[in-house]
């Protein structure tokens, strides 16, 4: 083995640890992302919320809040991703869905899915029944 192949293997192992490690940890601890229906109490508009580890955020990063209608949050996440050289995007999949649902539920939205899915959301968000 020459020095190039050793560095190639070291790089591959580090890449797997940095990319695959958080995914495995997130899915093991938090489970797959689940879609939960939300309903706005005043307007009756229905919208999707999510609980669990966000593979979507890991792949698309700061674009996810923008697509979900949180423009300022998306811009803030973009800036924090740049400042942290991408580390922020590796940590946020653990936090984003819970933060998003908390913002939604404190701004007039309510859980409107099946009793089973609502209970899953309550458990993941630490909401008393």
Task: Give the DSSP letter of residue 113.
Answer: S
* Residue 80 structure tokens: 């924090």
| Distance linking the first and last C-alpha atoms of the chain | 60
| Of 79, 98, 96, 87, the residue nearest 19 (C-alpha) | 87
* Residue 119 structure tokens: 């209970």
**51-108 pLDDT tens trace:** 999 989 988 999 999 999 999 999 999 999 999 998 899 899 999 999 999 999 999 9
What global pTM score does this model have?
0.80
Q: What is the pLDDT of residue 129?
A: 66
């Amino acid at each position: 083995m020459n020095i190039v192949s050793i560095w190639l293997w070291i790089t591959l192992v580090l890449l797997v640890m940095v990319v695959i490690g958080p995914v495995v940890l997130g899915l093991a601890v938090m489970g797959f992302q689940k879609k939960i229906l939300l309903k706005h109490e005043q307007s009756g508009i229905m919208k999707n919320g999510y609980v669990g580890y966000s593979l979507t955020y890991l792949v698309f990063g700061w674009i996810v809040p923008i697509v979900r209608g949180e423009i300022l949050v998306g811009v803030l996440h973009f800036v924090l991703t740049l400042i942290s050289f991408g580390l922020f995007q590796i940590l946020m999949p653990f936090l984003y869905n819970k933060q998003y649902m908390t913002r939604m539920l404190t701004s007039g939205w309510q859980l409107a899915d099946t009793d089973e899915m609502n209970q899953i959301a309550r458990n993941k968000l630490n909401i008393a029944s």
